[in-house]
Amino acid sequence: MLKQITRSFFSRPVTIAGPAAGADALKELAGKVDALARRRLGRSLAIREIDAGSCNGCELEIHALNNPIYDLERFGIRFVASPRHADVLLVTGPVSLNMQEAVLRTIAATPEPRWVVAAGDCACTGGLFAGSYACAGALESVVPVDLHIPGCPPTPLQLLEGLLALLEASAGRVIAASPKPAS
């Protein structure tokens, strides 16, 4: 035992170094998303995440957007707790039957203008869970979807690219910010 403890003091960690976050790409992408959101909405973007039945792999990547490496809030983009404060509903997982009603109610509670984004293969197509007796299917089979971000799971940069594409595509949409109801 003592031998093992002593050896652990001198051995190198066995973890593999993570991939570089692509600091320049992140700064550019997040800066563009924030600038576009301010132009379209008059303020920064608020995102409400909904786990509609995912394996949590997508959540890990979404959480990474707030970790010290990506630190999305420094660009003004933030996750909010209430759908009443959200511009974007970021939905992961296939829509499980148990979550279907909750997804519909959350979307109904989000004031216009709002965008619904399917994040990850499961939300886009049903993914691994397509055809399951416990799922209603892909998000689109339950509610209209404005943007699909494929990937299993999509990386933080792919999520940001998706949000940017969404804001760019919304250029033609009339989204003059309507007053949001109090929560």
Contact 58, 103 (CB under 8 A): no
Q: Is 162 in the site for ligand SF4 (CB under 6 A)?
A: no
Choices 20-28, 54-62, 79-87, 172-180; region in contact with ligand SF4 by CB under 6 A:
54-62
Which residues does 124 contact at the CB level (< 8 Å), separation at least 6? 118, 138, 139, 140, 148, 149, 150
Least Å from the CB of residue 128 to ligand SF4: 5
Least Å from the CB of residue 141 to ligand SF4: 16
Q: Is the peptide bond before 156 cis (omega within 30 degrees of 0)?
A: no
Residue closer to ligand SF4, measured from CB, 83 or 153: 153
Least Å from the CB of residue 50 to ligand SF4: 12
Q: Which of 104, 128, 130, 171 binds ligand SF4 (CB under 6 A)?
A: 128
Residue closer to ligand SF4, measured from CB, 92 or 170: 92
64-123 residues near ligand SF4, rule: CB under 6 A: 92-93, 120-122
Closest CA to 55 of 126, 146, 131: 126
Q: Is 55 in the site for ligand SF4 (CB under 6 A)?
A: yes
Phi and psi torsions of 81, nearest 5°: -85, -30
Can you tell me the distance from the alpha carbon of 29 to that of 14, in angstroms, rounded to the nearest whole number? Answer: 33
